[in-house]
Amino acid sequence: MGVAFLLSSPALETSRPRLGRAGQGSALPVRAGLAKAGGRPDRPCAARGRGASCQSPLLIALVVLLFGLLALPLHAAQTITAIEVKGNRTVDADLVRSHVKLAPGGVYDAAKVSQSIKALFATGLFAHVTIERSGTSLLVNVAENPIVAGVSLEGNTVDKAKLEEQVQLKPRARYTDAKAHADVLRLREQYRRLGRLTTTIEPSVTYQSDGRVEVTYVINEGAVTKVDAIRFVGNRALSEAQLRDVISTSQSGWFDILKSAAFYDPERIEQDKDLLRRHYLKHGFPDARVVAAEAVQNPQGTGYTITFTVEEGDRFTFAPTTVESSLRGADPGKLQELVAVKPGNAYSQDDVEKSVEKMTLALSDQGLAFAQVKPTPKRDAEGHTIAIAFHVEEGPRIYVERIEIVGNKKTQDFVIRREFRVAEGDAVNAFLIESGRRRVQALGFFKSVALKRRVGSAPEKIVITIEVVEQETINLGIGVGYSTSEGIVGDISIKENNLFGSGQSLGVKLSGSLVRLQAELGFTEPHLLGTNVAAGFDLFYKDVDYTQQASYMSQKIGGDLRLRYPLSDEWSAGVNYTFVRSTLYNVGDQASLAIKEAVPGWPNTTSSTYYTSSVGYSLAYDTRDNKKRPTSGVYYTVAQDLAGVGGDVRYIRSVGELRAYYPVTDEITAVGRATGGVIGGWGGQDVRLLDLFNMGGESVRGFATAGIGPRDVLSANQDALGGKMFYATTAELLFQLPGVPQDLGLRGAVFADAGSLWGVNGTAATLPGLAGNTAAPRASVGIGLAWDSPIGALRADYAIPLVKQPSDKTQPFSFGLMPF
Convert 321-368 into a string of H (helix), E (strand) and C (coil).
CEEEECCCCCCHHHHHCCCCCCCCCECCHHHHHHHHHHHHHHHHHCCC
Q: Rounded to an integer, what distance in angstroms lies between the CA atom of residue 710 and that of residue 721? A: 6
SS3 category, 93: helix
Provide the CA 93 distance to its chain's centre, in angstroms: 48
459 compared with 816, residue with greater pLDDT:
459
Q: What is the mean pLDDT of the chain?
A: 86
For 127-176, give the DSSP string: EEEEEEEETTEEEEEEEEPPBEEEEEEES--S-HHHHHTT----TTSBP-
Q: Rounded to an integer, what distance in angstroms lies between the CA atom of residue 449 and that of residue 442? A: 10
Q: Rounded to an integer, what distance in angstroms lies between the CA atom of residue 392 and that of residue 373? A: 5
Q: Rounded to an integer, what distance in angstroms lies between the CA atom of residue 664 and that of residue 646? A: 51
Per-residue pLDDT, 389: 95
Q: Rounded to an integer, what distance in angstroms lies between the CA atom of residue 316 and that of residue 337? A: 23
Q: Rounded to an integer, what distance in angstroms lies between the CA atom of residue 701 and that of residue 287? A: 43
Confidence of residue 162 (pLDDT cuts 50, 70, 90): confident
Confidence of residue 253 (pLDDT cuts 50, 70, 90): low
457 Cβ contact list (under 8 Å, min separation 6)? 401
141 Cβ contact list (under 8 Å, min separation 6)? 86, 87, 128, 129, 130, 131, 132
Per-residue pLDDT, 442: 87
What are the φ/ψ torsions at residue 90 (nearest 5 degrees)? -115, -15
SS3 category, 63: helix
Per-residue pLDDT, 5: 37
What are the φ/ψ torsions at residue 223 (nearest 5 degrees)? -70, 155
161 compared with 655, residue with greater pLDDT:
655
Provide the CA 366 distance to its chain's centre, in angstroms: 33
Per-residue pLDDT, 57: 57
Q: For the residues 641-665, what does the mean pLDDT come to?
A: 95
Q: Is residue 269 over pLDDT 70?
A: yes
**DSSP 8-state symbol, 689:** G
pLDDT digits (tens, 9 = 90+) for 727-750: 999 999 999 888 776 666 789 999
Q: Is residue 693 over pLDDT 50?
A: yes
Q: Rounded to an integer, what distance in angstroms lies between the CA atom of residue 156 and that of residue 217? A: 10
Q: Is residue 7 over pLDDT 70?
A: no
Q: Rounded to an integer, what distance in angstroms lies between the CA atom of residue 645 and that of residue 748? A: 47
* Dihedral-angle region of residue 106 (phi above 0 means left; psi in -120 to 50 means alpha; beta otherwise): beta
Q: Rounded to an integer, what distance in angstroms lies between the CA atom of residue 275 and that of residue 246? A: 7
What is the separation, in whole angstroms, between the first and last Cα of the chain?
100
SS3 category, 627: coil
Q: Rounded to an integer, what distance in angstroms lies between the CA atom of residue 561 and that of residue 782? A: 40
Q: Is residue 313 over pLDDT 90?
A: yes
Confidence of residue 54 (pLDDT cuts 50, 70, 90): very low
Is the Cβ–Cβ distance between 323 and 335 less than 8 Å?
Answer: yes
C-alpha closest to that of 636 among 619, 618, 654, 658: 658
Q: Rounded to an integer, what distance in angstroms lies between the CA atom of residue 394 and that of residue 744? A: 52
482 compared with 411, residue with greater pLDDT:
411
Percentage of residues in the chain having pLDDT higher than 90: 57
Q: Is residue 282 over pLDDT 60?
A: yes
**Cα–Cα–Cα angle for 112, 114, 115, rounded to 5 degrees:** 65
Q: For the residues 238-252, what does the mean pLDDT come to?
A: 81
692 compared with 788, residue with greater pLDDT:
692
Is the Cβ–Cβ distance between 534 and 563 less than 8 Å?
Answer: yes
**DSSP 8-state symbol, 691:** G
Per residue, what are the HEC states of 569-590? CCEEEEEEEEEEEEEEECCCCC
Per residue, what are the HEC states of 171-192? CCCECCHHHHHHHHHHHHHHHH
806 Cβ contact list (under 8 Å, min separation 6)? 771, 772
Q: Rounded to an integer, what distance in angstroms lies between the CA atom of residue 386 and that of residue 352? A: 11
Is the Cβ–Cβ distance between 114 and 88 less than 8 Å?
Answer: no
Per-residue pLDDT, 261: 53
Q: Rounded to an integer, what distance in angstroms lies between the CA atom of residue 62 and that of residue 623? A: 105
Indicate the burial class of 814 (C-beta count within 10 angstroms; 0-12, 13-18, 19 or more): buried
Provide the CA 570 distance to its chain's centre, in angstroms: 22
Provide the CA 108 distance to its chain's centre, in angstroms: 55
Confidence of residue 258 (pLDDT cuts 50, 70, 90): very low
Q: Is residue 516 over pLDDT 90?
A: yes
What are the φ/ψ torsions at residue 96 (nearest 5 degrees)? -65, -45
313 compared with 48, residue with greater pLDDT:
313
Alpha-carbon dihedral 255, 259, 262, 268, rounded to 10 degrees: -170
Q: Is residue 381 over pLDDT 70?
A: yes
Q: Is residue 545 over pLDDT 70?
A: yes
Q: Rounded to an integer, what distance in angstroms lies between the CA atom of residue 493 and that of residue 491? A: 7
Per-residue pLDDT, 196: 83
What are the φ/ψ torsions at residue 724 (nearest 5 degrees)? -90, -15
Confidence of residue 12 (pLDDT cuts 50, 70, 90): very low
Is the Cβ–Cβ distance between 354 and 375 less than 8 Å?
Answer: no
SS3 category, 108: coil
| Omega cis (within 30) before 375 | no
**Cα–Cα–Cα angle for 523, 527, 529, rounded to 5 degrees:** 105
Confidence of residue 252 (pLDDT cuts 50, 70, 90): low
pTM of the model: 0.66
Range name among 191-195, 522-526, 670-674 with the lowest pLDDT average: 191-195
Q: Is residue 36 over pLDDT 80?
A: no
pLDDT digits (tens, 9 = 90+) for 94-146: 999 999 998 998 888 889 999 999 999 888 889 889 999 888 899 999 998 99
Confidence of residue 32 (pLDDT cuts 50, 70, 90): very low
Q: Is residue 48 over pLDDT 60?
A: no
Helical spans, DSSP H, in 495-614: 547-550, 593-596
Q: Which residue spans within 597-745 are E strands per DSSP? A: 608-622, 633-647, 651-663, 668-681, 702-703, 711-712, 725-736
Distances (CA, A) of 509 to 493, 495, 518, 522: 4, 8, 8, 9
Is the Cβ–Cβ distance between 121 and 129 less than 8 Å?
Answer: yes
What are the φ/ψ torsions at residue 436 (nearest 5 degrees)? -65, -40
Per-residue pLDDT, 818: 57
Q: For the residues 640-655, what does the mean pLDDT come to?
A: 96
Q: Is residue 187 over pLDDT 60?
A: yes
Distances (CA, A) of 478 to 257, 463, 491, 536, 540: 8, 46, 6, 24, 19
Is the Cβ–Cβ distance between 490 and 471 less than 8 Å?
Answer: no
Q: For the residues 58-63, what does the mean pLDDT come to?
A: 58
Q: Is residue 56 over pLDDT 90?
A: no
C-alpha closest to that of 622 among 583, 580, 661: 661
Q: For the residues 786-794, what does the mean pLDDT come to?
A: 71
> 167-176 in b/e burial notation, b at 16+ Cβ within 10 A?
bebeeeebbb
